[in-house]
Chain A
Amino acid sequence: MRTIAKAALCLSAALLLASVQGQEATPDVLVKNVTLEVVDLIAKDKEIRGNRNKLIELINEKVLPHFNFAGMTALAMGQSWNKADAGQKKRLTEEFKILLVRTYASALAAFAEQKFEFRPLRAKPTETDVTVNVRVLQPGAQPVPIDYSMEKTASGWKVYDVMVGGVSLVANYRTEFNNTVRESGIEGLIKSLSAKNRTLEAAGGAPQK
């Protein structure tokens, strides 16, 4: 177990170096590098696991640049997205981002001690929209698949949806968002998202931003 972790660490360090030196990592390598780097940091530093705000800081720094939050928000909103004006879209994206990062941080903290299995990407090099499969192996249970939907943009590969155990995060927010918009409009949704974030912030200790 420890040797595997060490081997994975060396491998990820090597890959990370390769990806820094090479111009562009393939999406599967990108996911692998970022996941291993973050999980390793969490595993090494007990303090991060206990301190939600430190963990969120880590995610903000390492993971966030690889996500297309505006795209995620638009997808989660579905038809309602076009009802929002530019300013509202920006605020929606900001609030949703804070919520997603927090959720992602909790999930990572819960999975950090498990073994990850990275599947090589089965896609043609010309494709610009791919799904990267990762599996979390846990003793006595079926492995949990984590699938990242990614698209190629001018600034590299960006994640626009994450599926955990077959559950799409983006699709799962859609009903909630649409219900709220129907009941209290776009402003109502922004308000309830930010209220949710404030509550979590207060529960998590010091303000995170």
Chain B
Amino acid sequence: MRLPASAVLLALLAACATADGDPRDPFEGFNRGVYKFNETVDAAIARPVATAYRDLLHEEIRSRVRNFFSNIADLFIGVNNLLQGKIQDGVEDWARFAFNSSFGLLGIHDVASDMGIEKHNEDFGQTLGRWGVGDGPYLVLPILGSSTLRDSVGTAADIYTDPVGDFRPIRLRNSAVALRLVGVRADLLDASRILEEAALDKYVFQRDAYLQRRRSLIYDGQPPREERIREERSFKTPVNVEPAAGVNDLRVVQHAHDR
């Protein structure tokens, strides 16, 4: 059942592959279609529900919900850190889980952060990346949004190992999954508004931000320096043309240069 479905998906993707365009995003046509679908679902359901959630519930309550799911996630964040050979980080994640589950009353209080044990951000996609698996083509997944081929595999593993998926009865599990989704979307309301404002082409802006963000996460915020930006500065370093205090002398130079 699963295999034929993915075969169909791959065939669809291959059919949509275009010759020109961004080499990181060979299936742009297909991805834009899914993106549009996601936008529609988001505007119709996810955003209104998330907005209501944020407006109706006090931050005090929302942060308890956030902490509860964040605590459960620390278990496999720890596993991923260990898989990446970061023993100390992994031990910290499990220490967080131990403290927060007990003293933090099933995780609703993040006492570990107050103790100075910082939260990490890991998932199976990052572990694969750390192991040397490249991004692969950029993909927009239905509902889940931005991903890459590697991160889609990672996300499948994340979902498979998700402790919330083991909640029983099924109704409790479904409610928990839904509540978590709403909470995550509510926390992204500001970010999505900023994206809306900042981007000329939201699809491109979000894609590039995702790829940059993942690269940063894989290297825990210390990616090997891409000298691109700095190197290019040497070919042209324009002077500030803003009326900033004290740069008037420089503006004169700029204007002279312009003419």
Binds B, one of A9-17, A27-35, A41-49, A71-79: A71-79
Q: Which residues of B contact A19 (CB under 8 A)?
A: none
Q: Are A166 and B233 interface neighbours, CB within 8 A?
A: no
B244 in contact with A171 (CB, 8 Å)? no
Which A56-75 residues have a C-beta within 8 angstroms of B?
64-71, 73-75
Instruction: Tell me whether B55 is interfacial, beta carbon within 8 Å.
Output: no
Whether a CB of chain A sits under 8 angstroms from the CB of B221 is: yes
Chain A 102-144 interface 0/1 with B at a Cβ cutoff of 8 Å (1 = within)? 1100110010000000000000000001000000000111110
Judged by a CB distance under 8 angstroms, whether B247 is at the interface is yes
User: A175 and B66: CB pair below 8 A?
Assistant: no
Give the shortest distance, in Å, between A78 (CB) and chain B (any CB): 7
Residue-wise, chain B 193-221 has the 8 Å CB interface mask toward A (1 for contact) of 11001111100110011001101110001
The verdict on A106 contacting B197 (CB below 8 Å), with A129-B230, A155-B250, A167-B209 known, is yes
Are A168's CB and B229's CB within 8 A?
Answer: yes
Digitize B173-210: 1 where CB-to-A-CB distance is under 8 Å, 0 elsewhere: 00000000000000100110110011111001100110
Contact B212 A172 (CB under 8 A): yes
Name the interface size band of chain B: 35 or more
Residues of A within 8 A of B232 (CB): 75, 78
**Chain A at the B interface: mostly helix, strand, loop or mixed?**
helix
Asked if A172 contacts B120 (CB within 8 A), the reply is no
CB within 8 A of B66: which of A89, A141, A145?
A: A141
In the complex, chain A residues whose CB is within 8 Å of the CB of B213: 165-167
Fill in one digit per residue for B225-247: 1 if any A CB lies within 8 Å of its CB, else 0.
00011101100111111101111
Interface contact B119-A142, CB-CB below 8 Å:
yes
Instruction: Give every chain A residue within 8 A of B217 (Cβ-Cβ).
Output: 166
Q: Which residues of B contact A170 (CB under 8 A)?
A: 229
Q: Which chain B positions have C-beta within 8 A of A161?
A: 229
B229 in contact with A75 (CB, 8 Å):
yes
| B223 interfacial contact with A, CB 8 Å | yes
Minimum CB distance partner of A203 in chain B: B197
Interface string of A73-112 (1 = CB under 8 A from B): 1110010011000110110010001010011001100100
Q: How far apart sit A142 and B201, CA to CA, in the bound complex (Å)?
A: 28
Asked if B161 CB lies within 8 Å of chain A CBs, one says no
**Does B118 have its Cβ within 8 Å of any Cβ on chain A?**
yes
Is B40's CB within 8 Å of the partner chain A? Answer: no
- Bound form: Cα–Cα A106–B216 in Å: 23
A149→B230 CA distance, assembly (Å)? 9
* Residues B244 and A180 in contact, CB atoms below 8 Å apart: no
- Cβ-defined contact, B216 with A69, below 8 A: no
Given A167-B212, A168-B212, answer yes or no on A200-B197 (Cβ-Cβ < 8 Å): yes
- Chain B residue numbers with a CB within 8 Å of A23 are none
Q: Do A142 and B190 have beta carbons less than 8 Å apart?
A: no
Which residue of chain A has the shortest Cβ distance to B206 in the bound complex?
Answer: A172
User: Known contacts A69-B242, A172-B209: does B121 contact A142 (CB below 8 Å)?
Assistant: yes
Nearest first, the 7 closest Cβ-Cβ pairs linking A and B are: A166-B216, A86-B258, A110-B190, A65-B244, A70-B238, A103-B198, A155-B247
Q: A140-B113, A153-B250, A155-B250 are in contact. List 6 more A-B contacts (CB 8 A).
A: A69-B240, A78-B232, A81-B236, A102-B198, A141-B187, A166-B216
